[in-house]
Amino acid sequence: MRTSLTTTFCLALLLAGHAFAQDARQPSRQESFERDGIIWGSAAAWGVPFQENLSEDAKVAGLSRFWMEVKINFPHFAAIADLDWDKTYVDFIPKVRATTSTYEYYRLLQQMCALLKDGHSDVFMPKELAERMEADLPLRIDLIENRVFVTGVESKELEANGVIAGLEILKIDGVPVREYAAMNRRPYVASNSPQHVEVKVYSYQLLAGRRDRPVDVEFRSKEGRVFVKHLTRAPYPDRTTLPIFEYRKLPGNLAYVAINTFNSEDAQKEFEKYLPEIRGSDGLILDVRQNDGGSGVIAYDLIGYLTDKDFATPPWKSRQYVATLRVWGQAGGWYEAKPSQWAGKPNDFYSKPVVMLIGPRSLSATDVFAETFHRLQRGKLVGEPTAGSTGDPLAFALPGGGSARVATSADVGAGLVGRGVQPDILIPRTVQDFLAGNDAALEAGIAALKSALAR
């Protein structure tokens, strides 16, 4: 995302907008039409309360809104030129009518959304369903060399039960893990690049399911022992998450900083808090491999601490439509944002060598963070390609309390969408390194810093 509107914030606006509107004079419908020239969505029209099985009319209305918002706003149809979006809508009408529950209906909308192959276009279930039907285990899971591993455990209770980092997942409910993922995850998720598709399939909600239904997971230990664990999906009151910010000193007077999200102002506050210590180092490792984005404002502000000059932000475009020009047979076009500059910090920047660690989880604002760092030629990028998905998504409500979002912006030129920011030094993750506890990308980043210092 290039703006300060995070996904969570965008969705929160759907709930907060009505309350906020009561505090300020709202224009009349006529004033709105005269000012904007367009009829925006009416919150009242989609305020259908949650039901276990929405009415057929509500389901078709939700399908229609999703189709319409995508048709108007989505910027990447050229990347999926074989998809006839209008025909898709018509084909899904009888499928929607045939659903027998709201859960089944939202799963169908998720399948339709996956056809867009976009990491910033999603359908989200009503909270009543998400809490009950998408309960997940507090595990970090990654695909490494086509094998699926537990790479982190975020619950002491699970660890006490013998589920630890380093275990390989072989089967889920008796089904081989790759086959299980193909059936239960792949049809409902998508993204712009192959590397981020793998993240969405294997790293997010692979083990999610009904809260009241345990899952049987067959593991293999580092030593080769195969065993099955019968694991409840909830609750885990001791669940933890990655820290927003991590700082430590490395040998050779190097500084290591991991920024694990741009979804909180605390990331910037923590960086500024440790900046005096960071300035005392001879080189800096910036690790954003676990950062799946958030606020572009925070990302650009942090880049500003690495340069004494103002810098250009990556150019973007969005679709533009003039109804009368269509009558005259003229094609639509694109709105291209004017070049914009972000402020460097000539009196307050870190001037020593910097290396950035990137990977396929580095999404959205983090994609743009890495791309801007690359354009500044501020230092080496080390690791694996980033997710390759950004797009300033528009969030909107759906019947029954669910919601969706659709990407609205695209790169100007070749850009990063669908490709990802490419590392200067490619260091793929390997099973051998992972099981040995080696962070090969970090080691390569340290070597790159020492080389820069030697020069």
pTM: 0.91
CA distances (Å), 271 to each of 83, 230, 299, 307, in order? 44, 41, 11, 15
CATH 3.90.226.10 domain extents, the chain: 245-309+344-390+424-454
Contact status, residue 449 vs residue 285, Cβ threshold 8 Å = yes
Average pLDDT value for the chain = 92
- Beta pairing, strands 403-406 & 394-397: antiparallel
Residue 21 and residue 443: Cα distance in Å, rounded? 52
Mean pLDDT value of segment 316-326:
91
Rounded distance, CA 287 to CA 222, Å? 27
* Radius of gyration of the chain measured on its C-alpha atoms: 23
User: In which residue ranges of the chain is CATH 2.30.42.10 found?
Assistant: 136-231
Answer whether residue 29 shows pLDDT above 90. Answer: no
- pLDDT at 2 (0 to 100): 57
What residue spans in the chain does CATH classification 3.30.750 cover?
7-123
Residue for token digits 């609205």? 408
Q: Which residues of 363-384 are buried (b: 16+ CB within 10 A; e: fewer)?
A: bbbbbbbbbbbbebebbbbbbb
What pLDDT does residue 12 have? 47
194 prior amide bond cis, ω within 30: no
Rounded distance, CA 155 to CA 238, Å?
6
- 323 backbone φψ class: left, alpha, beta (φ>0; ψ -120 to 50): alpha
What's the distance, CA 291 to chain centroid?
9
Q: Extract the tokens encoding 145.
A: 């060399």
The CATH classification number of 7-123 equals 3.30.750
Give tens-digit pLDDT for 150-161.
Answer: 999 999 999 999
CB–CB of 2/365 below 8 Å?
A: yes
Helix axes 265-279, 296-304, angle to 10 degrees: 10
Q: Which two three-digit tokens encode residue 216?
A: 């049987």
pLDDT tens digits along 373-384:
999 999 999 999
DSSP 352: S
Residue 221 has pLDDT above 70, yes or no: yes
Phi then psi for residue 253, to 5 deg, are 60, 45
Q: Sorting pLDDT into bands at 50, 70 and 90, what band is 306? A: very high
Q: Using one digit for the tens of pLDDT, what is the confidence trace for 128-137? A: 999 999 999 9
250, 256 contact by CB (below 8 A): yes
Q: Which residue would you say has higher pLDDT here, 22 or 148?
A: 148
Provide CATH code, domain 136-231.
2.30.42.10
Q: What is the DSSP letter of 134?
A: -
Residue 407 carries which side chain, given as an amino acid letter?
Answer: A
CA dist 185 and 136 (Å) reads 13
Q: How far is CA 257 from the centre of its chain?
A: 21
Band of residue 412 on the pLDDT scale cut at 50, 70, 90: confident
Helices (H), 140-232: 156-160, 177-184, 194-198
The DSSP code sequence of 102-114 is HHHHHHHHHHHHH
**Record: fold of 245-309+344-390+424-454:** 2-enoyl-CoA Hydratase; Chain A, domain 1 (3.90.226)
Q: Could you read off the pLDDT of 74-87 as tens digits, one per residue? A: 999 999 999 999 99
